[in-house]
Amino acid sequence: MQAALCDLGLIEYQVAYNLQTRLVEQRRHLGPGNDTFLVVEHPSVYTLGRRGGREFLMVSETFLAEKNIAVVPIERGGVITYHGPGQLVIYPIIHLKQAGLSVADYVSTLEELMIALAADVGVVAARDERNHGVWVGNNKLGSIGIAIRHGVSFHGLALNVNLSLEPFGWINPCGLTGVRMTSLTAETGADVSMSQITAGLQSHLEKLFPFSFHKIAPDQLDPTDEVRN
């Protein structure tokens, strides 16, 4: 089966969310060969999952406004997390049943993808059976939060590449007490670039998912000014 791979670069969270919901609605009416993987970075934003998480904010709304960090409630699983520049975010818009994936298999595959990307720069990451995502020792490197509508997945994974970890210190990330976040840059002691990580992305995707990927430009995906701008 074919799937599209589209790198949107740095894009506002709400714009990416609106695009995801449009693609989910399109995908539910189409057959195999119409799945899409969005690759993005976001300006600084906290998102709250279905279980909430505002209580895990450790700073005031005034402080966040001064830092220009929005707080956005969404319908993915989990509680609060942070997105910012230097974090690789991937949103697969796929019909799980048509791809032959159970929800558990899908989550496991997203974890395997992050483990493989980390290994490309010599970082050994692993699962924690108690908590989804990937870890380096006791430090969390990547997070997963998904939603499924009409059998189609959206939201996805976030892998910390070279972002500032300071904003994670202003929340209780993922609602887990005492969790420290890490990044590929922190683990290697070198400035790992986003291009280093995305260079092997398509190859890893094709090994892990039942798709043959073709890259498309943003205007091929959604020819609206909202995405192009």
- Whether the CB-CB separation of 24 and 147 falls below 8 Å is answered with no
Helix locations, 48-175, DSSP H: 61-66, 103-119
Q: Is 23 annotated as a binding residue?
A: no
Q: Is 38 annotated as a binding residue?
A: no
- Whether the CB-CB separation of 115 and 133 falls below 8 Å is answered with no
Active-site option among 134, 171, 174, 186: 174
Q: How many helical (H) and strand (E) elements, i.e. helices and strands, does the chain have?
A: 8, 12
Short-list 133, 123, 201, CA closest to 162: 123
Q: Is 228 annotated as a binding residue?
A: no
Q: Is 157 annotated as a binding residue?
A: yes
Q: Is 100 annotated as a binding residue?
A: no
Category of 52 on φ-ψ map: left (φ > 0), alpha (ψ -120 to 50) or beta: left
Q: Is 91 annotated as a binding residue?
A: no
Q: Is 81 annotated as a binding residue?
A: yes
Q: Is 78 annotated as a binding residue?
A: yes
Is 174 labeled as catalytic in the residue annotation? Answer: yes
Q: Is 27 annotated as a binding residue?
A: no
For residue 80, give the amino acid letter. I
- Whether the CB-CB separation of 131 and 173 falls below 8 Å is answered with no
**Phi and psi angles of residue 26, each rounded to the nearest 5 degrees, phi first:** -65, -45
Binding residues: 76-83, 143-145, 156-158
- Annotated catalytic residues are 174
Binding residues for substrate: 76-83, 143-145, 156-158
